[in-house]
Structure 1
């Protein structure tokens, strides 16, 4: 019989949802943005300009969720959409000055929250968690290739 308390995919999903819910509560209350909007901004904070498809690939969010988040961020004046210089069909997303300023306010708070959340782990446990997470992600990629 499947015991959900011992089924790792279930436990990881519950943990991820709880983390997202806690962060959403903070981001929505303080900054008026949702978790998908923050994920788009976090990805653009690392690399821009990007297309919506690039963000879908990097975030593992579905296309509709990314599209709604991008539309909301553009309407809020946080992102700009520009056409790609060599392909007019492609749109590239970048921060506006207002978007960059908001990102620079949120990013340190996100890192601070992460530090507070992870302070229950010692250095060795955190390092081991990162290694194990990377191994599990690599195995997922292998499993996906095996199906094809």
Structure 2
């Protein structure tokens, strides 16, 4: 009986492992660097979020309240990802957008919380950005791209 319970426990834990990192590594991205190169270029928090799929605390991003016209780019490679005109206040504490710039993202999935979530990655370097959910504004796409602010840099529109 103990052996059976141990086997069930091991299988359950294995089943909850995230497959995002293995799926991500199988895709060839335009920008590829070693782990040491990423560590040297990114801040500690950027590295943890962008390369290890951590999540920043809600309501801590300096980008949360930006409303001026411009583009949000990947903090790792400056790939243009989101435009301010598609940003909205979701009340979640993370920058939220109803859509990305076409062709800017790659998609994966993870099961870190025990259920499948759709993970958003930078389409150029494969960095983890956040997740997409189906609870966004119904009058537009119905999607909510919930993005870690530390994964983004903001480039104001030049007038």
TM over 0.5: no
Q: Which has the higher helix share?
A: 1
- Provide TM-score, normalisation by structure 2: 0.26
Q: Which has the higher strand share?
A: 2
